[in-house]
Amino acid sequence: MKVVASMRGRSRLMLIAAMGVAALTASACSSNTSSPAASGTATHAPSGSATSGNITWWASPITTTSPDPRTVLISAFEKAYPNIHVNLQSAPTDTDTNRASLITTISGGATSPDVFMGDVIWPAQFGHSGLAQPLSSYFPSSYWNSFAPGLVQGATYKGQVYGAPFFEDQGFLYYRKDLLAKEHMAVPTTWPQLETEAAALVHKGVVKYGYVWQGASYEGLTCNFMEYLGSAGGTALNSGLTQATLNSPAGLEAANFMHSLITSGATPGAVTTFQEAQSMSAFATGQAAFLRNWDYGWSYSQTASSPSSVVGKVGVTPLPSFPGQASPGTSNIGGWNLYINPHSKNIAADVTFIKWMTSPAAQTILGTQFSEIPTVQSVRQSAAVKAKNPVLAIVGDTRLIPRPAQTPAYAKVSQAIYTNINSMLAGSASPSSALSAASSQINSAVGSSSGL
Amino acid sequence: MSTPSVAPAPGGGVDVSGPGEPSTPRRHDVFRRQQARLGWGLSAPALILIAAVTLFPIGYAIAMSVSNVSATGSGFSLSGLTGSNYSIMFHAPQWRYALFFTIFYTVVTVAVEVALGTAVALVLERLTVGRGWMMALLLIPWSLITVVNATLWAYIYNPTYGVLDTIFSHIGLGSPVILGTRVPAIIALMVADIWKTTPFVAIIVLAGLVMIPRDYYEAAEVDGASGWTAFWRITFPLLRPTIALAVLFRVLQAFGLFDLPFVLTQGGPGYSTQPLAILAYNAMFRDLDFGPGAAVATSTALLVVIGCLVFLKVFRAQAGTEV
Amino acid sequence: MRNRSRHGWHRVVNGVNLAALLVFLFITLPLYWMIASAFKTPANVGASPPQYFPHPISTQNFSVAFSQNTFGRYIINSVVVAVVATVLVLLLGTLAGYAMGRLPMRGKFTVLVVLLMISVFPAIAVVVPLYALLRDIGWLNSYQALIIPYTAFYLPFAIWILRNYFMAIPHEMEESARIDGASPLRTIWSIILPQAWPGLFTAGIFTFTACWTEFLMALSFNVSNNYRTIPVGVALFGSQFTVPYGTLFAASVVAVVPIGILVFIFRRSVVSGLTAGAVKG
Q: How far is B76 from chain A (nearest CA, A)?
A: 6
CB contact under 8 Å between C109 and A62, yes or no, is no
Q: Is residue A42 over pLDDT 80?
A: no
Nearest CA in chain B to C229: B145
Residue C6, domain member (yes or no): no
Task: Kindly list the residues from chain B whose CB atom is less than 8 angstroms away from the CB atom of residue A447.
Answer: none
| Residue A168 and residue A373 in contact, taking contact as beta carbons nearer than 8 Å | yes
Half-sphere exposure of B204 (CA within 13 A, CB side): 30
C107 shares a domain with C136: yes
A416 vs B270: which has the higher pLDDT: A416
Residues C53, C76, single domain; the answer is no
pLDDT band at B169 (very low <50, low <70, confident <90, very high): confident
Q: In the complex, which subunits touch B with 3 or more CB pairs below 8 angstroms? A: A, C
User: C-alpha angle with apex C264: C260 to C266, nearest 5 degrees?
Assistant: 120
Res. C17: pLDDT tops 80:
no
What integer pLDDT is reported at residue A261 of this predicted model?
A: 96
Spatial separation of the C-alpha atoms in residues A164 and A340, rounded to whole Å:
9
Beta bridge partners of B70: B77
Please report residues of C whose CB lies closer than 8 A to that of B21.
175
B309 vs A61, which has greater pLDDT? A61
CA nearest to B113, candidates B199, B239, B228, B235? B199
Distance from CA of A83 to the nearest CA of B (A): 29
Q: B50-63: b or e for each residue (b if 16 or more CB lie within 10 Å)?
A: bbebbbbbbbbbbb
Largest CA distance in chain C: 73
Nearest CA to CA, how far is A8 from chain C (Å)?
6
- Please indicate, yes or no, if residue C123 is contained in any of the structural domains: yes
What residue in B sits closest to C101 (Cα-Cα)? B39
User: How far away is chain A from the Cα of B209, in angstroms, using its nearest Cα?
Assistant: 25
Q: What is the arithmetic mean of pLDDT over B190-203?
A: 89
CB-based contact (8 Å) between C151 and chain B? yes
Q: What is the pLDDT of residue A29?
A: 35
Q: Quick one: C32 and C144 in the same domain?
A: no
- The residue among C258 and B169 whose pLDDT is bigger is B169
Cβ-based neighbour number of residue A327 at 10 Å: 14
Distance from CA of B135 to the nearest CA of C (A): 8
pLDDT given for residue A169 in this prediction: 94
Asked if the model's pLDDT at residue B14 lies above 60, the reply is no
Q: Is residue A26 over pLDDT 60?
A: no
Phi, psi of B245 (to 5 degrees): -60, -45
Cα dist. C140→A88, A110, C130, C233 in Å? 17, 10, 11, 17
Rounded mean pLDDT, B137-165: 86
Are the C-beta atoms of residues A241 and A263 closer than 8 Å to each other? no
Look at residue B101 in the predicted model and tell me its pLDDT: 96
Query: Closest Cα to residue C210, out of C91, C82, C120, C115?
Result: C82
CB-based contact A60 C132, cutoff 8 Å = no
Q: What angle do CA B75, B94, A439 make, to 5 degrees?
A: 90
The 10 Å Cβ neighbour count of residue A262 is 19
Chain A residues with beta carbon closer than 8 angstroms to that of B169: none
CB contacts under 8 A, C 175-204 vs A, are none
Contacts of A296 in chain C (CB under 8 A): 241
The answer to whether position C166 is within a domain reads yes
Q: C115 and C202: one domain?
A: yes
Check residue A54 and report its DSSP letter: E
Mean pLDDT for all residues in chain B = 81
Q: Are C159 and C90 in contact (CB under 8 A)?
A: no
Contacts of B71 in chain A (CB under 8 A): 103, 107, 129-131
Predicted TM-score (pTM) of this structure: 0.84
Round to whole Å and give the CA distance between C145 and C74. Answer: 15
| Euclidean distance between CA atoms B268 and B259, whole angstroms | 14
Q: Considering only alpha carbons, which residue of chain A is nearest residue B294?
A: A452
Per-residue pLDDT band for A292 (boundaries 50, 70, 90) equals very high
Helices then strands, counting H and E runs in chain B, come out as 13, 2
CB A311 within 8 A of CB A285: no
Q: How far does A8 lie from chain B, in Å, by closest CA?
A: 13
Average pLDDT of span C155-180 = 81
Whether C270 and C132 share a structural domain? yes
**Does C44 lie in the same domain as C177?**
no
Burial class (CB in 10 A: 0-12, 13-18, 19+), A212: buried
Between B170 and A338, residue with greater pLDDT: A338
C-alpha to C-alpha distances, C262 to B116, B309, C276, nearest whole angstrom = 25, 36, 20
CA angle at A278 for the pair A273 and A279, rounded to the nearest 5°: 95
pLDDT digits (tens, 9 = 90+) for A276-291: 999 999 999 999 999 9
Please answer yes or no on whether B142 and C31 come within 8 Å at the CB atom: no
Q: How many CB pairs under 8 A join B and C?
A: 291
pLDDT in tens, A59-108: 999 987 778 999 999 999 999 999 999 999 989 888 888 998 898 888 87
Percent above pLDDT 70 for chain A: 88
Q: Is A449 helix (H, G, I), strand (E, B) or coil?
A: coil
User: Quick check: C224 contacting A, CB < 8 Å?
Assistant: yes
Which has the minimum average pLDDT: A139-148, A244-253, B51-60? B51-60
Residue C1: inside a domain: no
Per-residue pLDDT tens for C23-42?
788 888 999 999 999 999 88
pLDDT range class, residue B112, cuts 50, 70, 90: very high
Nearest to A16 by CA among C157, B50, B61, B78: B50
Is it the case that residue C8 has pLDDT exceeding 70? no
pLDDT at B306: 86
The H or E element that residue A335 is part of is: strand A330-340
Burial class (CB in 10 A: 0-12, 13-18, 19+), A423: buried
pLDDT at C208 over 50: yes
DSSP A255-290: HHHHHHHHHTTSS-GGGGG--HHHHHHHHHTT-EEE
pLDDT range class, residue C13, cuts 50, 70, 90: low
Above pLDDT 70, what percent of chain C? Answer: 88
For the stretch A247-277, pLDDT in tens is 999 999 999 999 999 999 999 999 999 999 9
- Mark which of C32, C58, C84 sits at the end of a domain: C58
Position B296 pLDDT exceeds 80:
yes
Chain B residues touching residue C33 (CB < 8 angstroms): 152, 155-156, 163
Of the segments B160-164, B251-255, C86-90, C190-194, which one has the largest average pLDDT value? Answer: C86-90
Q: How many domains does chain C have?
A: 2
Here the CATH number for the domain that contains residue C116 is: 1.10.3720.10
Give the residues across from A330 on adjacent strands.
A399
Residue B261 with chain A: CB contacts under 8 Å: none
Least-confidence region, from A54-58, B220-224, C160-164: B220-224
C131 in any annotated domain: yes
Q: Dihedral through CA B118, CA B119, CA B122, CA B128, nearest 10?
A: -140
pLDDT band at A339 (very low <50, low <70, confident <90, very high): very high
Higher pLDDT, B223 or A339: A339
How far is residue A234 from each of residues A152, A172, B131, measured CA to CA in Å? 22, 19, 66
Q: Which residue in the set B57, B123, B215 is minimally distant from C126, CB to CB?
A: B57
Torsion, Cα A81 A83 A84 A90, to 10 degrees, reads 100
CB C212 within 8 A of CB C83: no
CA distance A404 to A410: 7
Rg (CA), chain C: 23
Ordered domains of chain B (ranges, CATH): 25-65 (no CATH), 93-319 (1.10.3720.10)
Top pLDDT among B126 and A420 is at A420
Domain stop point among C36, C58, C80? C58
Question: What ipTM, to 2 d.p.?
Answer: 0.79
Both C54 and C155 in a single domain?
Answer: no
Contact C43 A294 (CB under 8 A): no
Q: What is the pLDDT of residues B230-256, one digit of tens each?
A: 777 778 888 887 788 778 878 888 888
**Nearest chain A alpha carbon to B323:** A1
Residue A365 contacts residue A76 (beta carbons within 8 Å): yes
Which of chain B's residues have a Cβ under 8 Å away from the Cβ of C171? 18
pLDDT of the residue at B160: 81
Which element (helix H / strand E) includes A170? strand A164-176
Contact A8 C106 (CB under 8 A): yes
- C217–chain B nearest CA distance, Å: 13
Distance from CA of C17 to the nearest CA of A (A): 40
Q: Read off the pLDDT of residues A340-377 as tens digits, 9 standing for 90 and up.
A: 999 999 999 999 999 999 999 999 999 999 999 999 99
Residue C63: inside a domain, yes or no? no
Residue C16 located in a structural domain? no
What's the rounded Cα separation, in Å, for the pair B132 and C262? 12
Question: Residue A317 belongs to what H/E stretch?
Answer: strand A314-317
N- to C-terminal Cα separation, chain B:
36
Q: Is C223 on the interface with A (CB under 8 A)?
A: yes
Write out chain A residues lying below 8 Å of B60, CB-based.
Answer: 23-24, 27
Which of A24, A27, A278 lies closest to B158 in CB terms? Answer: A278
Q: Residue C52: give the domain boundaries.
A: 21-58
Partner A contacted by C136 (CB < 8 A): yes
**Residues C90, C50 share a domain:** no
| HSE toward the beta carbon, residue C168, CA cutoff 13 A | 25
Model confidence band, residue B5 (pLDDT cutoffs 50, 70, 90):
very low
DSSP 8-state code for residue A208:
S
- A232-241, A435-444, C87-96, C267-276: the lowest-pLDDT one: C267-276
Span of A206-220, A243-257, B131-145 with lowest mean pLDDT: B131-145
Say if C12 falls within a structural domain: no
- In chain A the domains, ranked by start, together with CATH numbers, are 53-168+334-399 (3.40.190.10), 170-332+404-447 (3.40.190.10)
pLDDT above 90 covers a percentage of chain A that reads: 74
Q: Note whether C49 and C73 are same-domain residues.
A: no
Predicted confidence at residue A49, as pLDDT, reads 62
Q: Pick the most confident of A179-188, B26-35, C35-44, C151-160.
A: A179-188
Which residue in A has a C-alpha nearest to residue C130's C-alpha?
A108
Interface test with C, best of B23, B53, B264 (most C CBs within 10 A): B53
Q: What pLDDT, on the 0 to 100 scale, is given for residue A449?
A: 63
Relative orientation angle of helices A410-426 and A249-263, to the nearest 10 degrees = 40
Give me the pLDDT at residue A329, please.
93
Sign of the Cα pseudo-torsion (A264, A268, A274, A276, in order): negative
| A32 pLDDT above the threshold of 80 | no
Is residue B63 within 8 A of residue A28, CB to CB? The reply is: yes
Judge whether A175 and A317 are in contact, CB under 8 Å. yes
* C228-268 confidence digits (pLDDT tens): 998 888 877 877 788 888 888 998 888 787 777 776 776 66
Are residues C47 and C101 located together in one domain of the fold? no
**Closest alpha carbon to C217 in C149, C143, C115:** C149
Beta carbons within 8 Å of C11's beta carbon, 6+ residues apart: none
State whether C103 and C138 are in the same domain: yes
Chain C hits for B45, CB-CB cut-off 8 Å, are: 92, 95-96
Distance from CA of B279 to the nearest CA of A (A): 8
What is the crossing angle of helices C15-38 and C245-265, to 10°? 140
A373 and A390 Cβ atoms separated by less than 8 Å: no
pLDDT at residue C198 above 90? Answer: no
Residues from chain A contacting residue C129 (CB–CB below 8 Å): 27
Whether omega for the bond prior to residue C49 falls within 30 degrees of 0, making it cis, is yes
Residues β-bridged to residue A287: none
Confirm if A103 and B289 have CB atoms less than 8 A apart: no
Distance CA C81, CA C255 (A): 14
Query: Which among C106, C225, C239 has the least Cβ separation from residue A64?
Result: C239
Instruction: Answer whether A204's CB lies under 8 Å from A405's CB.
Output: no
Interface probe for A, chosen from B288, B290, B312 (most Cβ of A below 10 Å), is B288
pLDDT tens-digit profile of A151-189?
Answer: 999 999 999 999 999 999 999 999 999 999 999 999 999
Subunits in contact with chain A (3 or more CB pairs closer than 8 Å): B, C
- Measured torsion, CA atoms of residues A248, A250, A254, A259, in degrees rounded to the nearest 10: 50
Average pLDDT for chain C: 80
Whether residues C37 and C82 share a domain: the answer is no
Q: Under 8 Å CB-to-CB from A280, ≥6 apart: which residues?
A: A291, A293, A297, A300, A301, C241, C242
